[in-house]
Structure 1
Amino acid sequence: MTPRLRRRTLLAGAAAAAALGALGGCGRPVDTSAELPAVSGDYTGPPLTLQFWNGLTGGDGPVMRELIAQFSATHPNIGIEMYAIPWSSFYQKFPAAVVSGLAPDLGLMHNFQVATNAARQVVVPLDPLVPALGLRQEDYLPVVWQSGLIDGARWSLPLDMWPDSLFYNRRVLADAGLDPDAPPQTGEEYLAALDRLAANGVQGHWLPAVDPQGVGRGFDSLLWQFGGELYAEDGSAALFAEEAGVQALEWQAGLIAAGYSPSDVSGSDANVAFKNDRNAFLWGGPGALINDLGKVDDLDWDVAPLPQIGVRRAAFSGSHQFVLMRQQEFDPDRVSATATFLRWIMGNSLGWASAGPVPARLPVLEQPAFAQLSAQANVASGVEHIRFYPLVPGIAEVQTTILYPAVGDALLGQLSPRDALARGREQASFLLAENLTKYGRA
């Protein structure tokens, strides 16, 4: 089987970069005339090879390649050529490839990027494929099912969930006289554990203040726990500077003020300290940490859902989601082969769990084999409380360029939590207004 496109497809993205302005509403338009055909999810046509782009450049990449090999072994007429590109490059290159007529067949992206790329029209609604894919709403948590829907149309297929969770060093807890089999579940228990750890000479929760991306999602979780929201549902206003956000950030800053965390560490510092028994708790996503920590010899660790610090349980979660790239013309054979692959991998996503994330389909979580993945099963015990960013185009940019740096400013003591969030809200208002004009509605 000869691949339709090879490395030149990736290189062409650079040449087409100038066209990216069109994707926000100006310049060269995206051709949206071709319609996705309704096809079978059981492809029996001639041999072909699909192009699959994603950002799985870490330990998750080999897991996906192994799943593709398993699929190809039972579907010899469908080849999958996977290109793993660093995420930042992926989000630049694939829209340029669409504009240039060199789009891959399918991709995997973060859920908080789907609305942006739907608004750009570089991915397509999947409704014609729903029957072929065998999608059932009852197989997903409501928040996960809704994460692929924009204005009633389905734009993406959730593969997994990766909620921020509480990773804890069992040996450090035991050395401080704490029960390593009973991690803290409430704010009171958490602070009591930090007090006990401090008495044993351990700063138990290292906050990566100089790495706001690493601590920002903890802020998101806390804001939701204190009853707040990040943004208005339509993306017209930032709400993170209201009282719930201030409480969340004051709680984080209080950990540093009380000496439970050093004042100027990075996420890498916290990770290394945890691995060397100098830190008791890490808040983070299972996709990276489960595999990372599992590779460390003699590290005694486990994971649980985040403790409830505020008035309700909540945890930030992301999700990898499959999308179909817009083509200048859709080949029914290629679309049918794509649907066949997607249906297979959604039904066999237990294998994906070994990469760290929790599969999105609830029936997979009920399989006895999933319970044997103890870390992932522990994370899954809290998924009913996960929260996603709102489905608003451009929202990830607001988070990473405005909100998370504001969180970092407060944790570094440059501004009070209230002032840092107020300034962030003022800055965010301009970008949110710009996004509404640039993207409109998908």
Structure 2
Amino acid sequence: MHANGKPPSRRTFLRLGAALAAGAAAPLSACAGPDLSAADPPSASDSYDGPPLTLRFWNGLTGADGAMMRELLREFSEQRPNITVQMFAMPWDAFYRKFPAAVASGLAPDIGLMQNFHVATNAARGVIIPLDEVADRLGLTEAGFAETVWRSGIFNGRRFSIPLDVWPDSLFYNRRVLAHAGLDPDDPPRDRVSYEEALEALAENGVAGHWLPAVDPQGVGRGFDSLQWQMGGDLYDADGGRALFNGPEAVEALTWQRERIVTGQSPRNVNGGDANVAFKNDLNAFMWGGPGALINDFSAVEDLDWGVVPLPTIGAAPASFAGSHQFVIMRQHEFDAARLSATYTFLSWISANSVKWADAGPVPARQDAVDSPEFSELPAQSSVAQALSDVRFYPLIPGIFEVQSTILYPAISDVLLLNADPQQALDDAARQAESLLAENKQKYAEVMT
């Protein structure tokens, strides 16, 4: 308990837990360990034809996406029997905690797959290596990818990752619930007026159509990100030193979210699991979320009649929060040319065959995969891909996920739990964020120098 005798708030617990996780991911310079800066990779062929070897591949694909990745690895090994890719999947928080320690101890995996909003942080920490030359040798260029996705792997002018996919938050809709309320089940709302009218029609039929996960900061925070971008706002300035998410556009976005709860168009005190279960049981019309998990999840429910389209444009222009899985090569104490050659061979193959990865739910990052006949046969993923030109990512700032998850998102949660005023909560969060941004800038600058 606090000194005043009151129990700590839920927000305090959220920040404490996230801070502990962030502390586990502190820069390696803060730990006793080897200087990794001199461990430069040797020249290696981009096509391995040597004796059999096994590469170690770490990631956080613990769901249906993990099963699909293992299928791809089996197919790769059938075509390249001299290369076995051994996959170790673990929860994402464990992955981000464990692999830097493995790098420091000299036991790093050969390849990793990470979410793009962690690339800058790990590049600054020196635990992954630049891949500019690798991308060039494999023929991977910006022209072959969605522009925003391709650039999300660049930090300090250098490429540190190769994008595999992109997963923009999208609007999932329950056709049966819409039809029961007298709405067209094949024409979901795509703008503010039609979306609010649909929510009103649903409310008249006793349905809270838009369940906002107020007690799930990550889920509700991504919706806020999308809305404030749609309304012309931004999260941070170009240098990553100033928080901008307390401007009028952001306040409008958060006020709009709050109104959905105040008017009864969303139940109060909802978490992401509640919304998901309600959708599957025809109690909820709309869900905002990423296609990677939800497409697989909803497809597995017998008789669930659903569809998906890009997020409705509530603001002045379309925009949606997106993430991307990106391949990285871990820094080694000593690089082996043969293992690097096998790694390059694998990265080239899986990028070229990424349309098969779309079966896991995400949209492939490569444009030729999106344009392929195979991808067009996936109606949900093809619909989501319509938003590719409007996706937005967190800025490429080391430690940015920590700022979002420990400061901004808990503030949004407080507002949607009806415990705080939108402007005041965002002003307070902006001051705290700028303090942490300044600390991170100094901390990661020390690692990079």
Amino acid paired to 1:303: V
| Contact preservation (8 Å) 2:25, 2:96 | no
Residue 126 in structure 1 maps to residue 103 in structure 2: no
| Contact preservation (8 Å) 1:39, 1:129 | no
Amino acid paired to 1:234: D
Indicate how the Cα distance of structure 1 residues 415 and 125 shifts in structure 2: closer, same or farther if over 3 A, else same: same
Residue 329 in structure 1 maps to residue 327 in structure 2: no
- Counterpart in the other structure of 2:111: 106
Distance in 2 separating the partners of 1:389 and 1:217: 10
Distance in 2 separating the partners of 1:46 and 1:234: 48
Equivalent of 1:247 in 237, 243, 252: 252
- TM-score of the aligned structures, taking structure 1 as reference length: 0.94
Deviations along 1:234-286, one digit per CA (max 9) or x if unpaired, are: 21111111111101100100111111001111111111111111100000000
Residue 139 in structure 1 maps to residue 144 in structure 2: yes
CA shift, 1:21, in A, is 4.7
| Contact preservation (8 Å) 1:194, 1:203 | yes
- Counterpart in the other structure of 1:310: 315
- Counterpart in the other structure of 2:230: 225
Distance in 1 separating the partners of 2:81 and 2:333: 27
Deviations along 1:337-391, one digit per CA (max 9) or x if unpaired, are: 0000000000000111011000000110111111111100010011110000000
Residue 439 in structure 1 maps to residue 419 in structure 2: no
- The 5 Å alignment of 1:349-364 reads 349-364=354-369
- Counterpart in the other structure of 1:404: 409
| Contact preservation (8 Å) 1:24, 1:438 | no
Q: Which moved more, 1:219-228 or 1:35-44?
A: 35-44
Distance in 2 separating the partners of 1:420 and 1:24: 34
Distance in 2 separating the partners of 1:284 and 1:212: 13
Distance in 2 separating the partners of 1:416 and 1:239: 17
Distance in 1 separating the partners of 2:127 and 2:399: 14
Q: Which moved more, 1:292-301 or 1:34-43?
A: 34-43
Distance in 1 separating the partners of 2:137 and 2:349: 11
CA shift, 1:148, in A, is 0.9
| Contact preservation (8 Å) 1:37, 1:330 | yes
Deviations along 1:408-441, one digit per CA (max 9) or x if unpaired, are: 0000111111111111112112211110111128
CA shift, 1:128, in A, is 2.5
Which sections of structure 1, spanning at least 5 residues, go unmatched? 1-16
- Counterpart in the other structure of 1:236: 241
| Contact preservation (8 Å) 1:19, 1:27 | no
CA shift, 1:404, in A, is 0.6
Distance in 2 separating the partners of 1:122 and 1:26: 13
Distance in 2 separating the partners of 1:291 and 1:20: 31
Amino acid paired to 1:236: G
Deviations along 1:43-90, one digit per CA (max 9) or x if unpaired, are: 111111001000001111010000000000010111111100110010
- Counterpart in the other structure of 1:8: none
Amino acid paired to 1:57: T
| Contact preservation (8 Å) 1:119, 1:393 | yes
Distance in 1 separating the partners of 2:279 and 2:104: 45
CA shift, 1:24, in A, is 5.2
Equivalent of 2:352 in 336, 347, 358: 347
Equivalent of 1:371 in 369, 376, 388: 376
- The 5 Å alignment of 1:1-80 reads 21-23=26-28, 25=30, 27-80=32-85
- The 5 Å alignment of 1:203-218 reads 203-218=208-223
Distance in 2 separating the partners of 1:322 and 1:414: 41
CA shift, 1:131, in A, is 3.1
Distance in 2 separating the partners of 1:162 and 1:21: 27
CA shift, 1:26, in A, is 5.8
Distance in 2 separating the partners of 1:363 and 1:79: 27
Distance in 2 separating the partners of 1:367 and 1:256: 42
| Contact preservation (8 Å) 1:25, 1:438 | no
Equivalent of 2:296 in 291, 306, 326: 291
Amino acid paired to 2:250: G
Indicate how the Cα distance of structure 1 residues 239 and 29 shifts in structure 2: closer, same or farther if over 3 A, else same: farther
- Counterpart in the other structure of 1:14: none
Which sections of structure 2, spanning at least 5 residues, go unmatched? 1-21
| Contact preservation (8 Å) 1:20, 1:96 | no
Q: Which runs of 4+ in 1 moved over 4 A?
A: 17-22, 24-27
- TM-score of the aligned structures, taking structure 2 as reference length: 0.93
